[in-house]
Structure 1
Amino acid sequence: MITRSLRWRLLLGGGIAMLAAVLVAWLFMTVLFQRHLERRLTLELSRDATRLTAGLTQNADASLALDAELTDPRLSIPAGGLYWQASTPATALRSRSLWDQTLPVPASVPADRWVLKQIAGPFDKPIVVLQRSIRLNPNGPPVVVQIAEDADDIASAQSEFGRDLAMFLGGLWLFLAAASVTQVHLGLSPLRRIREDLAALRPSASARLAKPWLEEVQPLAETINALLSASEDELSQARGRAADLAHGLKTPLSALQAQSRRLRETGDSRIADRLDRAIASATATVERELARSRVAAVRRGTSAVREGVEDVLGVIEQTTHGERIAFTNDVPEGFNAPMEQDDLAELLGPLLENAARFARRQVLVRAGRTGSSLWVAIEDDGPGIAAEHEAEAVLRGARLDESGQGHGLGLAIARDLVTASGGTLTLTRSTLGGLRAEVGWTADLVAPAVTDPERPGSQPSLRA
Structure 2
Amino acid sequence: MTGGSLRWRLMAGGMLAILAALAVSWLAMTWLFERHIERRETVELTRLGQTLAASLSVSPDGAPLIDTAPGDARSRKAAGGLYWQVSAPRGAERSMSLWDQTLKPPPRPQSEAWSTRIAAGPFDDRILLVERSIRPDRNGPSVLIQVASDEKALGSARREFGRDLALFLAGLWVVLSAAAAVQVSLGLAPLAWMKDDLARLRRSPSARMSGGHPREIAPLVEAINALAEAREADLARARRRAGDLAHSLKTPLSALSAQSRRAREAGAAEAADGLDSAIAAVGAALEAELARARAAAARETSFTAQSSPLDVVERLVDVLERTAEGERLMFDIEIDADLRVPASEDMLTEMMGALIENAARFGRRQVRVSGAATAHGVALGVEDDGPGIDDGRAGAALARGGRLDEAGPGHGLGLAIARDLAEASGGILRMDRSVLGGLRAELVWPAGARSAPKAMGQS
TM-score by length of 1: 0.80
Q: 1:54 to 1:5 in 2, by over 3 A?
A: same
Find the residue that maps to 1:398 and give its secondary structure. coil
Find the residue that maps to 1:437 and give its secondary structure. strand
Aligned partners of 1:6 and 1:276: how far apart in 2?
63
Aligned partners of 1:11 and 1:125: how far apart in 2?
48
- Residue by residue over 1:204-251, the C-alpha shift from the partner in whole angstroms, topping out at 9 and shown as x without a partner, is 776666655866676666666666666555555544443323222111
Q: Does 1:51 align with 2:44?
A: no
Match of 2:439 in 1: 435
Match of 1:40 in 2: 40
Aligned partners of 1:416 and 1:424: how far apart in 2?
9
Aligned partners of 1:19 and 1:54: how far apart in 2?
52
Q: Which amino acid aligns with 1:424?
A: I
- Residue by residue over 1:400-451, the C-alpha shift from the partner in whole angstroms, topping out at 9 and shown as x without a partner, is 444543212111222233234443323334455543321123223269xxxx
Work out the percentage of aligned pairs sharing the same amino acid. 51
Match of 2:9 in 1: 9
Aligned partners of 2:339 and 2:319: how far apart in 1?
22
Find the residue that maps to 1:127 and give its secondary structure. strand
Q: 1:222 to 1:379 in 2, by over 3 A?
A: farther
Aligned partners of 1:331 and 1:339: how far apart in 2?
16
Q: Which amino acid aligns with 1:303?
A: Q
Match of 1:457 in 2: none
Distance apart, 1:262 and its partner CA: 0.4
Aligned partners of 2:254 and 2:41: how far apart in 1?
113
Matches within 5 A, 1:55-134: 55-58=55-58, 62-89=62-89, 91-134=91-134
Find the residue that maps to 1:336 and give its secondary structure. coil
Tell whether the 8 Å contact from 1:367 to 1:376 is kept in structure 2 after alignment: yes
Match of 2:412 in 1: 408
Q: Does 1:355 align with 2:359?
A: yes
Q: Which amino acid aligns with 1:340?
A: S
Q: Which amino acid aligns with 1:79?
A: A
- Indicate which of 331, 342, 346 corresponds to 1:342: 346
Task: Tell me whether 65-74 or 261-270 shows the greater mean CA deviation.
Answer: 65-74
Task: Tell me whether 164-173 or 311-320 shows the greater mean CA deviation.
Answer: 311-320
- Residue by residue over 1:90-110, the C-alpha shift from the partner in whole angstroms, topping out at 9 and shown as x without a partner, is 543323332321101122144
Tell whether the 8 Å contact from 1:119 to 1:127 is kept in structure 2 after alignment: yes
Matches within 5 A, 1:61-460: 62-89=62-89, 91-192=91-192, 195=195, 211=211, 235-280=235-280, 282-283=282-283, 286=286, 301-304=304-307, 305-310=309-314, 312-313=316-317, 321=325, 327-359=331-363, 362-370=366-374, 372-386=376-390, 389-432=393-436, 434-445=438-449
Aligned partners of 1:315 and 1:105: how far apart in 2?
122
Q: 1:386 to 1:172 in 2, by over 3 A?
A: closer
Aligned partners of 1:230 and 1:339: how far apart in 2?
26
Aligned partners of 1:153 and 1:441: how far apart in 2?
78
Tell whether the 8 Å contact from 1:399 to 1:407 is kept in structure 2 after alignment: yes
Aligned partners of 1:352 and 1:200: how far apart in 2?
33
Aligned partners of 1:397 and 1:3: how far apart in 2?
43
Q: Which amino acid aligns with 2:345?
A: Q
- Residue by residue over 1:189-210, the C-alpha shift from the partner in whole angstroms, topping out at 9 and shown as x without a partner, is 5544654676688887766666
Find the residue that maps to 1:53 and give its secondary structure. helix
Task: Tell me whether 170-179 or 300-309 shows the greater mean CA deviation.
Answer: 300-309
Q: Which amino acid aligns with 1:133?
A: S
Task: Tell me whether 424-433 or 195-204 shows the greater mean CA deviation.
Answer: 195-204
Aligned partners of 2:421 and 2:389: how far apart in 1?
21
Aligned partners of 1:438 and 1:360: how far apart in 2?
19
Distance apart, 1:127 and its partner CA: 1.5
Aligned partners of 2:75 and 2:45: how far apart in 1?
13
Q: 1:237 to 1:265 in 2, by over 3 A?
A: same
Match of 1:456 in 2: none
Find the residue that maps to 2:113 and give its secondary structure. coil
Tell whether the 8 Å contact from 1:212 to 1:221 is kept in structure 2 after alignment: no
Aligned partners of 2:438 and 2:70: how far apart in 1?
120
Task: Tell me whether 209-218 or 118-127 shows the greater mean CA deviation.
Answer: 209-218
Aligned partners of 1:331 and 1:237: how far apart in 2?
39
Q: CA RMSD in A?
A: 3.8
Distance apart, 1:57 and its partner CA: 3.3
Aligned partners of 2:17 and 2:179: how far apart in 1?
14
TM-score by length of 2: 0.81
Aligned partners of 1:203 and 1:331: how far apart in 2?
28
Tell whether the 8 Å contact from 2:76 to 2:96 is kept in structure 1 after alignment: yes
Match of 1:459 in 2: none
Tell whether the 8 Å contact from 1:360 to 1:381 is kept in structure 2 after alignment: yes
Distance apart, 1:69 and its partner CA: 2.8
Q: 1:405 to 1:342 in 2, by over 3 A?
A: same
- Residue by residue over 1:379-407, the C-alpha shift from the partner in whole angstroms, topping out at 9 and shown as x without a partner, is 34555445564444323223344454321
Aligned partners of 1:384 and 1:70: how far apart in 2?
115
